[in-house]
Structure 1
């Protein structure tokens, strides 16, 4: 996600009192040992295996014959304790939904393939719509609503630890009428156009899931809409017409790499699409027909720079990690400038047509394909790993293409912010739920550029590629440990100043400011 208006200054206020994060990592100096890079494009099953490589070991730790338990409601995230659920890991979602614009009613059937991490007498799925039926491994299951967004599922027989199981959920509702935490309403209508997209939550408005970024999975999405409307999502467009109905089309999208649940989206309405292949990547660019012809042209011009930007970013972070490229510009007055929906970011129309911001906006969202998508946050307080890198990438792209250097951006911002106590009070290690998306866009890239100064270009680039090319869900502590493993310089004082500290770092070489 991004907000790239340079006029947005440091916010006021401090952490909001939400539960703190884990104890700080204890750093150990290490000999520099490069790690092998993971190949960028893998077959779907191979990719899923990479993501799930720890699961058999986790399952084997469950004692044979141990009694089944009720899976936890909520995965334990310090900022969103009810998000996600415990006891299982999802490998694939097959989402089949139909949407009726006349009454804005959505009906669907989602098939979830998962593995039990413990014996489960029951487990929980996240969904804010009404569920009418659940089948687990072919047998009817019991269901009960818990709160506004959770459904507890009780299979006819307990799920055995380490086993794969399948859940089929039938559901319906009017998602435009549903409000979530903090007043979130990610399913919106603008004229004759409907969009569901948002961070940190949006999936629960249209399909059941383990709704937390620590559990990415493959996505297969089919959307049935009245003929004449387009239905756009993430992944590769397999077909846009089932051929079985005269008055309806079914748009079928399949993703070949796992994604966090918030990284998929659905847009329904009248869009102009551009499709093709560039640098071996199939692309779909879609712009709403509800903007002027001039703005539609400007939006497409910005989207068409995506491939060139990816080439620059690949030089910084290693091969592009996905098999599709694209972007979507809806009419909705989004609460963000862009959202890193996987392989096909969603952009706010008024932002992407503004020549002052378009280049850095598109670069920021595309950089998320490496940082935030291929490597997801383990908990929402790890947001630095995502937003700091996407923001620094926009600086680095400008530097590589003849614009201001990343170092000059660091110096300019530090000069402006050095005396602002409010700016530094929001830490990167624990910004607080209300401040997740504030100073990280500024303090984050400043910290990365300062680290570049301390480590040197070679080691810093190795850190970036090594991190970005190893798909999975990891923490800010993991990132700090990986950085330390690539240098003999003790980085603990640097991390104390830039990541943990609540004051402006001292202007020293050890802090990358000398």
Structure 2
């Protein structure tokens, strides 16, 4: 066995390459993969490292809708790296450094390929700094709609699920790699800027103001959000939770109402699902008419409409189910959407005894097998149906069937234990079903198989 140092004097500090039978490590062997191999988004995310923190410094110029930004990613190498990738389809890259040294870089499709000045050792922490400038764009998809960096009348708003974060920042864009974030957003003083987490003191300098936000809880990249505009903002508290609600001036008459109903739903959610997982909450209502809401971490964004109670409860429930407990692969998306939809049913039951979850379940179950809610199995819906009716409605129906099988007390315990045991991390369907069996003491394989994985309308008695 021969050990050869890649650089003289760096045997201990850099990579040692082992050669046997004349074989040598190729450049490809030392490159992080350009995707994590998710069944639905195989090119999203990147291999070879885990991101732990992002510092996002961004300056927005409304006149030409340009940004100038620098993103610093702190990460740990999970293998020796001669090169690694970031997902990025945003503006032109100006410069890249790794650990303070200039690095080579290239754009390949939706990837930013970075080659550091020296090989990164497995287990080493490193910092990659990417500076770029230009006009970020929205991502448009016939099934998923418009998302990413979306222009508003007076600024912009970011809604990035499932793969839109790479439209505006270089990132390891997959929910399996969560990180903390710091944002410094500089805008003309007539505008305001919001992001995830807690607000720090804004800093005024001339005709500009820099707004600082800190997300100290791990966050999937699709939940990272920035909102820039002439917002009307109000503040409140629920226990130690700071509630921040912001609305575009178009909706200023609804500010107090949205805030009040958000606070009310948050109080209920803490009783239904256990301790709220973050330090702040609230809502952002902006003017782009997107006809959907997104559970951006801490403060959901409502795209162009004033949300009713169902929307607010749904998006706040995601803070527990989806944001704190995050899917490892997109095929398990029912753990987000089925849970948030069932939260709506529970809320209606809470406010009106006449509108029980059982009544809602039965109204859907009476639909014929040809109904869209039975079009695909929610536990494996396929990429095109990952936000379809089965994931939301049949996913919620699955939880109601579970509730009836195990009883209200154990069902409540299952939800709260799931949120507590997986808090800040990830969860899979297999983990959830195992938890449900552990707490209930019942065999539930058939129930979950019928409701999550079999095609068509489940027949009574089949589970």
- TM-score by length of structure 1 reads 0.81
Q: 2:444 aligns with which of 480, 491, 495?
A: 491
Greater RCO, 1 or 2 (C-alpha within 8 Å, sep 6+) = 1
Q: 2:319 aligns with which of 369, 390, 409?
A: 369
1:224 equivalent to 2:186? Answer yes
Q: CA deviation at 1:505?
A: 1.4
1:329 aligned counterpart, secondary structure: strand
Partner Cα separation in structure 1 for residue 166 and residue 256 of structure 2: 30
Contact 2:139 2:149 in 1 (8 A): no
Contact 1:340 1:346 in 2 (8 A): yes
Q: CA deviation at 1:275?
A: 2.0
Kindly tell me: are residues 432 and 481 of structure 1, through their superposed partners in 2, closer, same or farther at Cα, counting changes over 3 Å?
A: same
Q: CA deviation at 1:265?
A: 1.0
Contact 1:92 1:218 in 2 (8 A): yes
Partner Cα separation in structure 2 for residue 351 and residue 501 of structure 1: 37
Partner Cα separation in structure 1 for residue 243 and residue 450 of structure 2: 42
Kindly tell me: are residues 184 and 87 of structure 1, through their superposed partners in 2, closer, same or farther at Cα, counting changes over 3 Å?
A: farther
Contact 1:303 1:362 in 2 (8 A): no
Q: 1:133 aligns with which of 95, 99, 114?
A: 95
Aligned residue number for residue 82 of structure 1 = 43
Aligned residue number for residue 53 of structure 2 = 92
Deviations 1:68-98 (A, max 9, x none): 6100001111111111111111111000011
Deviations 1:312-337 (A, max 9, x none): 1122211000000111000111141x
Partner Cα separation in structure 2 for residue 87 and residue 256 of structure 1: 24
Aligned residue number for residue 434 of structure 1 = 384
Partner Cα separation in structure 2 for residue 279 and residue 423 of structure 1: 39
Partner Cα separation in structure 1 for residue 385 and residue 256 of structure 2: 33
Q: 1:256 aligns with which of 185, 194, 216?
A: 216
Q: CA deviation at 1:299?
A: 4.3
Deviations 1:36-62 (A, max 9, x none): xxxxxxxxxxxxxxxxxxxxxxxxxxx
Residues 262-341 of structure 1 aligned to structure 2 (within 5 Å): 262-289=222-249, 291=250, 295-336=251-292, 338-341=293-296
Aligned residue number for residue 363 of structure 2 = 412
- TM-score by length of structure 2 reads 0.89
Aligned residue number for residue 343 of structure 1 = 298
Residues 154-303 of structure 1 aligned to structure 2 (within 5 Å): 154-176=115-137, 179=139, 184-240=146-202, 242-243=203-204, 245-289=205-249, 291=250, 295-303=251-259
Kindly tell me: are residues 349 and 118 of structure 1, through their superposed partners in 2, closer, same or farther at Cα, counting changes over 3 Å?
A: same
Q: CA deviation at 1:198?
A: 2.8
Aligned residue number for residue 407 of structure 2 = 456
Partner Cα separation in structure 2 for residue 145 and residue 359 of structure 1: 44
Partner Cα separation in structure 1 for residue 236 and residue 459 of structure 2: 50
Query: Can you give the 5+ residue segments of structure 1 that lack an aligned partner in the other structure?
Result: 1-62, 353-357
Contact 1:287 1:300 in 2 (8 A): no
Contact 1:196 1:205 in 2 (8 A): no
Partner Cα separation in structure 1 for residue 330 and residue 130 of structure 2: 27
Deviations 1:216-242 (A, max 9, x none): 1101001111111011111111022x2
Partner Cα separation in structure 1 for residue 184 and residue 164 of structure 2: 17
Query: Can you give the 5+ residue segments of structure 2 that lack an aligned partner in the other structure?
Result: 1-14, 19-24
Partner Cα separation in structure 2 for residue 435 and residue 303 of structure 1: 33
